[in-house]
Structure 1
Amino acid sequence: MWVLIGSFLGLMLIGLPVALAMVVASLLYIIVSGSVPDVVVAQRMIAGVESFPLLAVPFFILAGNLMNIAGITGRIYNFAVALVGWMRGGLGQVNIIGSVIFSGMSGTAIADAAGLGTIEIKAMKDHGYSSEFSVGVTAASATLGPIIPPSLPFVIYGMMANVSIGSLFLAGLIPGIVMTLMMMATVAYIARKNNWGGDSAFSWMQLGAAGIEILVVLAFPLAVWLLTRAGISVNIAVGGALIILLLLDWYFDFSAVMALMAPVILIGGMTMGWFTPTEAAMAAVAWALFLGLVRYRSMTLRALTKATFDTIETTASVLFIVTAASIFAWLLTTSQAAQMLADAILGFTQNKWVFLLLANLLILIVGCFIDTIAAITILVPILLPIVLKLGIDPIHFGLIMTLNLMIGLLHPPLGMVLFVLARVAKLSVERTTVAILPWLVPLFLALIAITYVPQITLWLPNLVGIGR
């Protein structure tokens, strides 16, 4: 155990990338122990990515990239300005609402920060907001990406913990709303403290237009339900409602109805059993291509090619981490290291609430040093047996783990959102870190609520109960 864990930590301390550190530590363990054939390394690494749920990874990444190049981020921003731009701290509120909408398409915090963040930070600075406030609210709202479905970390966790990815997606909806309200309250507090007003004039016409777009989106599932109740087959009902929606969008040229439809299609399709969460990722790509190539005609061949190559690059890095972490996690299990660590934790406490406190602290620290995907792959084999033994729902724990790791993305030394926003805002990493600190308050309050009020997470998946 000490060879495996010690060499891994030592290699990370000298600056080796986390994926390589896991591979080298695994090889050192195999050489020193002599109990595992070296061919197992290749076998386990291949087995780590030979998984149907993992197919969702490249497709969700591609969907996020396509949404960025199709000009949909600009439409989302304009819709959010019409909806909440008149409130105190207007563009701060717009930032949060925009992230909520974009979260329903991309599934990653980095895509949110790099896509919408570029537009939002520039607009906020142009309206006189400080760089620090602009970066802070953008970083905090970017954490909504993997909480509100779809979510790449949920896909990895669901595969590792063998729980329903669809249920994890549903479990993220209410926590996402809780986090959104806490962040909006924080913006309102800062705005009132600094006597800020809104950034767009209040207009019943603009607010009504935004409200109509929301009603149009909500009318889609209602129309499908009414048509099916009238005896029309589900496929015909959905097709008819979608055609009517497209005609309305073409005639009235809505700002963001088609973007708002993305989460409706994904969650509705999974709930009704049309496709699995993995297939939902492919549906997200198809929807993004339809919007970019057909509806808005804003996607060029060159931009499509660039989005494809960016997806290949990102997918390769993510899957390499998964392959490296899979052999490392397997050795943790077979060497009894995971069991020994679990026994040590259980020896310290048998109370599930105390364990959740300790798990939060552990995952927060790990999230500051290790990539999200690698952290999930390493920690699940160690913590999941304890979770099950203490009677904690693994879906609930998946939300806790993901939110902790999202907070870790905002911290040095490995916080990718931190570095992306520092580059976008042209701030130093130190100033960006200081700017993010006040936003940890609503994030930690949300973490406490999600940890100790399980029904926030579990009510919706228990109500709907969809499969993997």
Structure 2
Amino acid sequence: MMALVLFFSFIILIFVGVPVAFSLGLSSVLYLIMMDIPLSIAAQKMYAGIDSFVLICIPGFILAGNLMNTGGITKRIIEFSNAVLGFIRGGLGLANVAASMLFAGISGTALADTASIGGILIPAMVEEGYEPDFSSAVTASSSTVGPIIPPSLPMIIAGTLTGISVGKLFLAGAIPGLLLGLSLMGVSYFISVKRNHPKGERKPFSFIVKSFYGAFWAIFMTILILYGILGGVFTPTEASIIAVVYAVIVGKFIYKELKFRDIPRVIIESMRMTASIMILVGFANVFAWIMASEQIPQLIARTILSISTNKIIVILMINILLLFVGTFMETIAALVILFPVLLPVAISVGMDPIQFGVMSVLNLVIGLTTPPVGVCLFVAASIGKISLAQATKAILPFLLVSLIILALVSYVPAISLFLPSLMAAR
């Protein structure tokens, strides 16, 4: 009975517009009051939720990404992508997806990708003759690549929650991320040919080399982080600090666009972003503790397994649940609440924890572009100055392809486990 109070109060708060973090906190406090449990428990569980060495890397990666963006990395990534792909029919749409794939190593979040790249490319695409709905749809859908290709903040959260190797999760996301990006490029090209979208002039080789030099430093940061973590040179937390130092050096001395007077503003902005994530993780941990006390995880597991113990059916049910939750809940909050609950169910039917981690993150970020409340879809529609209905219609082909990739990741373990298995074999 009290579990229903917890869930209904949370859902009501969400739908009246209360931010997810505070919806989790307020519904949890209401439960504690009604159960006559000391409110000090909330503070204890919040602290326990964020008292993790691995979580320290989140502010580091956020700061590094903001420093790189302030230093001019976003426009250089877009310039390089357009130089390579711009001459193809609908090349600016392809460049949009390619930029998201390269930008993934900098932001690690879908919303940052949509806002940063969309703010530049959606108006540029419309000016070149692309429809606003197509421009918004390709931007929103390609933003889902960011949290899959490493480094990824949701992967860090998933690893922290369950003790799964963050390095292996990073590695496991590489092939699914590339598959997703290439598939979205295929859809973009097909639509562009059908609608006769414009194509630019083929750039000279010297221009491509020059633009590659600009984007190289962003690509190299991802390589540096992955090599260091997987090679045992440093931990994810240490990697985030190295990324900050790297971003300052590149922005100040190579791109020469980062000014020392910009750094305090970037730090404050990064602190705000970090605080919002940490508050979310803290409140979600209180919510998850209450769920565990009410034995909700066991109830969910029993319910799923009572319907079927067939691996294919169980994975399908988990996918449907995560997709539904992902449409209205922020990715990190959903992970904190559901990932530890569903992981034992997945393991019970023979699914590898690393594969399940990639599947879960992919599920939830697809939800960010899924109508009616996908936040990335909202942001892209806002930038494109179109209605949500127009954006929804335009994103359906991209959403269909994303779901196909999700099915492959869910049912073909080698897609996510091949690279981690090479690491284990060393």
Question: Is TM-score (shorter-chain normalized) higher than 0.5?
Answer: yes
Equivalent residue of 1:171, what SS? helix
Q: CA deviation at 1:89?
A: 1.1
TM-score, normalised by the number of residues in structure 2:
0.94
The alignment-based identity, stated in percent, is: 42
**Residue in structure 1 matched with residue 176 of structure 2 by the alignment:** 175
Q: CA deviation at 1:168?
A: 0.5
Distance (Å, rounded) in 2 between the aligned partners of 1:292 and 1:419: 31
Structure 1 pair 387/89, CA: closer, same or farther in 2 (3 Å)? same
Q: CA deviation at 1:171?
A: 0.4
**Residue in structure 2 matched with residue 379 of structure 1 by the alignment:** 338
Q: CA deviation at 1:23?
A: 1.9
8 Å Cα contact 2:409/2:415 also seen in 1: yes
Give per-residue Cα distances to partners, 1:209-265, cap 9 Å, x unaligned.
379x5xxxxxxxxxxxxxxxxxxxxxxxxxxxxxxxxxxxxxxxx232222211111
Q: CA deviation at 1:368?
A: 1.1
Distance (Å, rounded) in 2 between the aligned partners of 1:352 and 1:387: 8
**Residue in structure 2 matched with residue 185 of structure 1 by the alignment:** 186
8 Å Cα contact 1:53/1:159 also seen in 2: yes
Distance (Å, rounded) in 1 between the aligned partners of 2:377 and 2:269: 20
1:141-160 matched pairs, under 5 angstroms: 141-160=142-161
**Residue in structure 2 matched with residue 38 of structure 1 by the alignment:** 39
**Residue in structure 2 matched with residue 131 of structure 1 by the alignment:** 132
Which stretch shows the higher mean deviation, 151-160 or 299-308? 299-308
8 Å Cα contact 1:65/1:111 also seen in 2: no
8 Å Cα contact 2:61/2:244 also seen in 1: yes
Equivalent residue of 1:273, what SS? coil
Match of 2:13 among 8, 11, 14: 11
- What one-letter code is carried by the residue in structure 1 that aligns with 2:267? T
Flag structure 2 segments of 5+ consecutive residues without an equivalent: none
Q: Is 1:295–2:292 an aligned residue pair?
A: no
1:198-237 matched pairs, under 5 angstroms: 198-201=199-202, 203-206=204-207, 209=209, 213=212
Q: CA deviation at 1:413?
A: 5.1
Distance (Å, rounded) in 2 between the aligned partners of 1:127 and 1:319: 41
Distance (Å, rounded) in 2 between the aligned partners of 1:308 and 1:283: 16
Distance (Å, rounded) in 1 between the aligned partners of 2:372 and 2:425: 38
8 Å Cα contact 2:129/2:197 also seen in 1: no
**Residue in structure 2 matched with residue 110 of structure 1 by the alignment:** 111
**Residue in structure 2 matched with residue 400 of structure 1 by the alignment:** 359
Distance (Å, rounded) in 2 between the aligned partners of 1:12 and 1:196: 40
Distance (Å, rounded) in 2 between the aligned partners of 1:6 and 1:387: 27
Aligned-residue RMSD, C-alpha: 2.1
Equivalent residue of 1:274, what SS? coil
**Residue in structure 1 matched with residue 80 of structure 2 by the alignment:** 79
Distance (Å, rounded) in 1 between the aligned partners of 2:301 and 2:253: 53
Distance (Å, rounded) in 2 between the aligned partners of 1:136 and 1:28: 39
- Equivalent residues, number: 424
8 Å Cα contact 2:370/2:399 also seen in 1: no
Structure 1 pair 466/130, CA: closer, same or farther in 2 (3 Å)? farther
**Residue in structure 2 matched with residue 236 of structure 1 by the alignment:** none
Flag structure 1 segments of 5+ consecutive residues without an equivalent: 214-253
Which stretch shows the higher mean deviation, 341-350 or 430-439? 430-439
Equivalent residue of 1:138, what SS? helix
Give per-residue Cα distances to partners, 1:168-224, cap 9 Å, x unaligned.
1000110011112211111221122223453222645555x379x5xxxxxxxxxxx
Distance (Å, rounded) in 2 between the aligned partners of 1:153 and 1:177: 17
- What one-letter code is carried by the residue in structure 2 that aligns with 1:324? F
> Which structure would you say has the larger Rg?
1
Distance (Å, rounded) in 2 between the aligned partners of 1:259 and 1:38: 45
Structure 1 pair 411/305, CA: closer, same or farther in 2 (3 Å)? farther
Give per-residue Cα distances to partners, 1:343-381, cap 9 Å, x unaligned.
111111111211111111111110111111111111123
Q: CA deviation at 1:414?
A: 4.2
TM-score, normalised by the number of residues in structure 1:
0.86
Q: Is 1:446–2:369 an aligned residue pair?
A: no
